[in-house]
Amino acid sequence: MDELVVKLKDGKEVKVNKGSEFYEVVKKNNLDLESPVVLGSLNGYIHELTYKFYHSGDFDVIDIRNPIGIKVYQRTLQFVLIKAVQDLFPESRITIEHSLSNGIFGEIYKKAGELDEEDILKIKNRMKEIIKQDIPIKKVSVNRKRAIEIFEGYGMQDKVRVLKYIRIEKLNLYTLDGRYDYFYGSMAYSTGILKYFDLKFYKPGFILMVPTEKDSDKLPQFVEQKKLSQIFYETEKWGEILGVGDVGALNDKVKNGDIVDIIRVSEALHEKKIAYIADMIYAKKEARIVLISGPSSSGKTTFARRLGIQLRVNGLVPIAISLDDYFVNRDKTPRDENGDYDFEAIEALDVDLFNKNLKDLMDGKEVQIPTFDFKKGERVWEDKRMKLPLNGVIIIEGIHGLNERLTPSIKREKKFKIYISALTQLNLDSHNRISTTDARKIRRIVRDYLSRGCDAERTLKMWPSIKRGEEKNIFVFQEDADVMFNSALVYELCVLKKYALLELSKIKATSSVYYEAKKLRSFLKFFEEIDMKRVPENSILREFIGGSCFYEY
C-alpha cells in the first residue's frame, strides 16, 4: 500500500497509508486530548473524519472549540437523541424546533399519553448508553428513490415531501445502529465524543443542552426566556394558520399556485401584529418613547416605518430620532480588543447629549439635533430642529434600545421597548431546523450584494464580529422588552434563494468561510423559487431585496 506524508500543525511529519481515514491519524497521534475532534482539514479543505487520505499535505483538526465544530457536535447529539426516542417509543414522532434558553427546544409526540419528566429521564439514560457504546456513525450514498422508500417506511412524510423537490439523484444519509436519517451538515465519527450534554423536561417538550465553543468542557446555565418562548409559540400558530409546517409543505403551495394566498396571509399576520403593538403603545398613555432593538438583518427600519403608520391610525404622531447622529467624534470612539474602532459599544454614543435632547423634547422644548459626518468622523451642527407635539411619540431604532444605560434619565414607565428578530418560522423537516442565525445571514448576504456591492465572502467573514456585538449588546436585554415581534416570513427563503446561491457559489473552496457557505447552500437547494415581483412593496422582505415603498437602497 502506498505511503503518504502528512504534516501536523506542530510541524511533525507522520506517514499514513493511502486510503486510511482521517480518524486514524487523529487517534494515533492523540490529537483529540484537549477537546473532542469532529472534523479534519487537509491543505485547507475541511472533511469529516471518515474522509480518506489520497495525497500528502498539511493536516489539522477541528474540535468543538471551533464554531464549525460545535455545530457538528450539536447535530450528532441530536441524532443520538432521535435514536434514543425511537428505541424507547418506536411509534412516536420527535421534532427539533428552535434554540431557546441556551439550548434547543423540541417536542416528542407519543402514541399514548403526554410527555413527562419520567420519559425525559428514560431518554437521557438511553442517550448515555448509546454514547458509552461509542457507536460509529456511517455515511451512505443512496439514490433519491431509495431515500424516499426509507422515510416512507418510517412514516416521516415531512422528509418525503421535501425530497420530492430536490433535483439530485444521489443523497448522503447517515446511519446510527441501523437508523437512517438525513442532515444538512457534517456528522461526527462516532457517538463516543459526546461527553457533555443534558436533557431537560420543558413543557410541552424538552430542552437539549449543549456546550458552546467558548466553554466546550461544560454546559451553559439554563436561563428562563418566557417572552421568547411565547413568540415561538405564536409563530407555531401562524404556521398552522398558513398550513405550512415544513419546507416540503411550502413547496407544495408554490407548485399548486396557493403561494399567492400564503404571501398575502403572511403579510397580513405581520400587519395585524404591528397594529396590535401600536394599540399597546396607545394604551400605555404615559409612554412617549418607543425603543426598537434587534440583531442584524431583523428588518428594524421597515418595522419602524410600518409601526409609525399604525401609530398615526391611533392618533399619535411618530417622530424618529437616529442614534447615528449621536456618535462621539472619532478620536473619542472606544476600540475593541483588536485595536479597531468599536462603533457598537454604548460608549461610542454621546449618551448625555442624547438624554438631554430627549428630556427637552418631552418637556415641549424645541431641540437642535446634531448630525454626524461619517466621512470626517465628527459631529456637525446644521439647522435641524425638532419639537414634539402633544400627541407625539419619539421612535428610536438602534442596537442599544433595550439597554437602560442608553436612556438613564427617562423613567421606565415613559418608555415602550420592542425586540425584533427574524425567528425562523419553518424547518427543513422534523429533524433539521433552520437556525435564526442562518436565516439572518441569508438576508444580509442578499442585501449586501444587491444594495452595497458587498460579496457573500466578506459578509460571512464579518459575521463573527456581528455576533459578538449582538451577544454583548442585544440578546442579554431581549427579555426586558415590553413586546417581541417576529419579522420572519414563511416564504422569504424562496425569494432570497436565487440571489443567495449566486453569491455563495462564488466562494472558493480555499476560503475560510467556504464550509459555512456550503452549509447555507445545502439547505437553500430544498426551496422552490418565488419571483421577487410577488413581494408587496411594504413588506419587511423589501428591506433586503429592494423595491420598498418606504425608502430606496
* Res 424: pLDDT: 82
Cα Rg of the chain, angstroms: 25
Pair 180, 33: CB distance under 8 Å: no
pLDDT of residue 1 exceeding 70, the answer is no
Cα–Cα–Cα angle for 192, 22, 24, rounded to 5 degrees: 65
What whole-number distance in Å separates Cα of residue 540 and Cα of residue 243? 21
pLDDT of residue 338 exceeding 90, the answer is no
pLDDT, tens digit (0-9, with 9 covering 90-100), for 245-303: 899 999 999 999 999 999 999 999 999 999 999 999 999 999 999 999 999 999 999 99
SS3 204: coil
pLDDT, tens digit (0-9, with 9 covering 90-100), for 221-240: 888 888 888 888 888 888 88
C-alpha cell, 100: 431557546
What whole-number distance in Å separates Cα of residue 106 and Cα of residue 94? 7
List, in sequence order, every beta strand (DSSP E) within 187-253. Answer: 198-202, 205-209
Q: Are strands 103-109 and 205-209 parallel, antiparallel or unpaired?
A: antiparallel
pLDDT of residue 553 exceeding 70, the answer is no
Give the orientation angle of helix 436-452 with respect to helix 456-473, to 10 degrees.
Answer: 130
* Res 196: pLDDT: 93
Matching residue, cell 403593538: 277
pLDDT, tens digit (0-9, with 9 covering 90-100), for 116-150: 999 999 999 999 999 999 999 999 999 999 999 99
pLDDT, tens digit (0-9, with 9 covering 90-100), for 46-63: 999 999 999 999 999 999
pLDDT, tens digit (0-9, with 9 covering 90-100), for 440-496: 999 999 999 998 788 999 999 999 888 888 999 999 999 999 999 999 999 999 999
